[in-house]
Structure 1
Amino acid sequence: MNTDVLTADIASSESLLPWFDELRSFLNEGKFAPWGAVVEQQLQGVLHDNEHGDQRRWLDALYSLPDLEQVNCDLTAHDLALTSTNISNEQQAAVLAAVQGLIPWRKGPFQFFDTHIETEWRSDWKWDRVAPHLSPLHGRVVLDVGCGSGYHMWRMLGDGAARVIGVDPSRLFLMQFQAVKKYAEVALGKLPADLLPLKMEDVPPRLKAFDTVFSMGVLYHRKSPIDHLQELRDTLRPGGELVLETLVIDGPLGEVLMPEDRYAMMRNVWFLPSPETLLLWCRRVGFKNARIVDLNQTSLQEQRSTDWMTFNSLKDFLDPSDINKTAEGYPAPLRAVVIAEA
């Protein structure tokens, strides 16, 4: 990360745009050119709001991370371990203060030298369930929709992906991603992984360019899940692979739950299909060989409050007398992973 761009106007779009220079060059080539033609304008549009939320405070934290000359990074480790044999106690303390300034940490875990960030979600558990079913990622260009802080992006890169692009509109997730990237690139050199603070709708329609697209934990937040599936299909080259993870319910073909208001205290949950209904949705938009490769009820050990995310979490969203039901009386979160081809 180039800290030379830091000025008094720390939160300006001009100070953040250089993060994406190399990616913008990549997107200007070949199949990705339709996105390259508009991505700078998209970034200018979302980054122009200099007072967005806590952006200034987060950037202060991010840029307070000390520069280190010797770093090791293991992108295959469960906690994406960043280590160094040449870091002082003062630098350790500065790292701790900086990453504390980026709380809450929801997706992880991460290891920043002697600071272990125990995130709300054990995202490594999800990756362990998904990874055995993937086509080899080696050499693939991957899109991760709703990527959060980028934990799974780093695991994709560690498994050999040629380039990983994540889209997620959260500004805090972008700062957390850049914090990891700062040190990972000291260890490994320039890394082809970028988190764009954009939405799925910002990906140009019918791009048909990516080898693999991930959408994990997004579908149930969409008012039109069929449209989302179509958007995902349109990002993929012919034969490209979809990796879809979403909430489902037990039930026969055709059964779908639409919550009256909230589901597990979330207002923005729209449709929870049965597994067979989900597969039908995939087939109807043109995916081939759609299959369920994993079904897992989220446990209180996989999603919970921690010192790094102190707000309410899964146990607060369930019926206190029956953890197999949500607080509203619906079936507790059951997640399915679908693999399919475009």
Structure 2
Amino acid sequence: MAGEVHWTVRDDFQRLMERLGYQGWLAACPSPSLRAWAEQLASQLEALRARRHGDWPKWRDIVQALPELAPRRVELNAPAVTIEGAASDQQRRGLETLLRGLHPWRKGPYQVHGLWIDSEWRSDLKWQRLEPHIQPLAGRMVLDVGCGNGYHAWRMVGAGARWVLGIDPGLLSVAQFLAIRHCAGPFPVFVLPLGIDQLPVKPGAFDTVFSMGVLYHRRSPLDHLMELRDCLRCGGELVLETLVIDGPAGQVLVPEDRYARMRNVWFIPSCPTLEGWLKRCGYRNIRLVDVTRTTAEEQRSTDWMRFQSLPECLDPADPERTVEGLPAPRRAIFLAESP
């Protein structure tokens, strides 16, 4: 396509990650199987050189141009992931210009040196719904699949997680995470541009695995549930958040084309159906802990995400339906244990 360029992981992405300390983060991994995988990661990332994205050089340059502002305080237990320091007005304006260059910001919010990044999703509301129900994260190895820019991964560290890996193939999301990590400093968290199928085969290393907003994007949802199970140690906890519909066991919505203007939505099950899928995949102690209708309080356009959002995806005459005439988004949180 016009405007696209080849990008070289070794010269660009990997060098940027090395500057931000990913090798030390991997070396500190408490799991032998993941430490062994870390030795292969450089070549695995090198294999991504065939990917193209015309905006990668711009995003890379933004992260590299961020000012060196030492954080005085980092707060990971508040609705906004907050980084405070002694930034002048001029530095703050420069920082804002750079971070706005990483538009659109989908997950957040963040507050960086007095700059409020008002993301499309109020991701703190989802965290507020699930945190009281999950196993305490203190001292746990955590995987966040489809993590976006890592907002929830930061909250996991704030909750005491020992080591957090976020994976998301979207390079813009990874660039946003690298920008936040540059400002926050070294914490036991990293986001890599990988899919779950690029992790070691059956790593079985994680105490908790999160999959939030991913299942309905998978063409084979049961395969995804099995992949998640294989990442967990025996007795580890799955935190699964996804779109659902009302209905009995066996009922599944399969959109003919788009759902809420999204093309890549394949299966939206009822809660009893999803519970059956989890059982079929071998999970135990399955619990439905929350079902919430998504509203414009939680997902909307902002100055940091200026494209269409939820309000434009609903029928203006009937907010209980999408513009395609399908049930409006409702999201469920299931917890389950690996056998």
The reply on whether 1:201 has 2:197 as its aligned counterpart is: yes
Q: 2: CA distance between counterparts of 1:237 and 1:338?
A: 18
Q: Does the CA contact (< 8 Å) of 1:55 and 1:171 recur in 2?
A: yes
Q: 2: CA distance between counterparts of 1:82 and 1:23?
A: 20
Relative to structure 1, the CA distance from residue 14 to residue 81 in structure 2 (aligned partners, 3 Å threshold; closer, same or farther) is: closer
Q: Which amino acid aligns with 1:142?
A: V
Relative to structure 1, the CA distance from residue 82 to residue 255 in structure 2 (aligned partners, 3 Å threshold; closer, same or farther) is: same
Q: 1: CA distance between counterparts of 2:71 and 2:181?
A: 14
Relative to structure 1, the CA distance from residue 14 to residue 270 in structure 2 (aligned partners, 3 Å threshold; closer, same or farther) is: closer
Task: Look up the match of 1:251.
Answer: 247
After superposition, the C-alpha distances for 1:56-84 in whole angstroms (9 at most, x for unaligned) are: 11122222221123531101111111112
Q: SS at the partner of 2:81?
A: coil
The reply on whether 1:64 has 2:65 as its aligned counterpart is: yes
| Aligned partner of 2:288 among 289, 292, 297 | 292
Q: How does 1:44-123 map to 2 (within 5 A)?
A: 44-46=46-48, 48=49, 52-84=53-85, 86-123=86-123
Q: Which amino acid aligns with 1:108?
A: G
Q: Does the CA contact (< 8 Å) of 1:241 and 1:341 recur in 2?
A: yes
Q: CA deviation at 1:206?
A: 1.5
Q: 2: CA distance between counterparts of 1:10 and 1:34?
A: 20
Q: 1: CA distance between counterparts of 2:34 and 2:14?
A: 24
After superposition, the C-alpha distances for 1:19-46 in whole angstroms (9 at most, x for unaligned) are: 4312442459513245335322221122
Aligned length: 328
Q: 2: CA distance between counterparts of 1:10 and 1:100?
A: 26
Task: Look up the match of 1:173.
Answer: 173
Q: CA deviation at 1:157?
A: 0.2
Q: Does the CA contact (< 8 Å) of 2:120 and 2:305 recur in 1?
A: yes
Task: Look up the match of 1:43.
Answer: 45
The reply on whether 1:191 has 2:187 as its aligned counterpart is: yes
Relative to structure 1, the CA distance from residue 66 to residue 16 in structure 2 (aligned partners, 3 Å threshold; closer, same or farther) is: closer
After superposition, the C-alpha distances for 1:184-224 in whole angstroms (9 at most, x for unaligned) are: 11xxxx31101010011111222111000000000000000
Task: Look up the match of 2:219.
Answer: 223
Question: Which moves more between the two structures, 235-244 or 88-97?
Answer: 88-97
Q: CA deviation at 1:49?
A: 5.1
Q: 1: CA distance between counterparts of 2:335 and 2:197?
A: 22
After TM superposition, where is structure 1 displaced by more than 6 Å over at least 4 residues in a row? none
Question: Which moves more between the two structures, 58-67 or 100-109?
Answer: 58-67
Q: How does 1:120-131 map to 2 (within 5 A)?
A: 120-131=120-131
Q: Which amino acid aligns with 1:146?
A: G
Q: 2: CA distance between counterparts of 1:220 and 1:51?
A: 26
Q: SS at the partner of 2:92?
A: helix
Q: Percent identity?
A: 49
After superposition, the C-alpha distances for 1:228-270 in whole angstroms (9 at most, x for unaligned) are: 0000000000000000000010000111110111111111101
Q: 1: CA distance between counterparts of 2:26 and 2:76?
A: 24
TM-score by structure 1 length? 0.92
Q: SS at the partner of 2:194?
A: coil
Relative to structure 1, the CA distance from residue 124 to residue 203 in structure 2 (aligned partners, 3 Å threshold; closer, same or farther) is: same
TM-score by structure 2 length? 0.92
Relative to structure 1, the CA distance from residue 139 to residue 220 in structure 2 (aligned partners, 3 Å threshold; closer, same or farther) is: same
Q: Does the CA contact (< 8 Å) of 1:13 and 1:44 recur in 2?
A: no
Task: Look up the match of 2:316.
Answer: 320
Q: 2: CA distance between counterparts of 1:264 and 1:70?
A: 40
Q: Which amino acid aligns with 1:158?
A: G
Task: Look up the match of 1:21.
Answer: 23
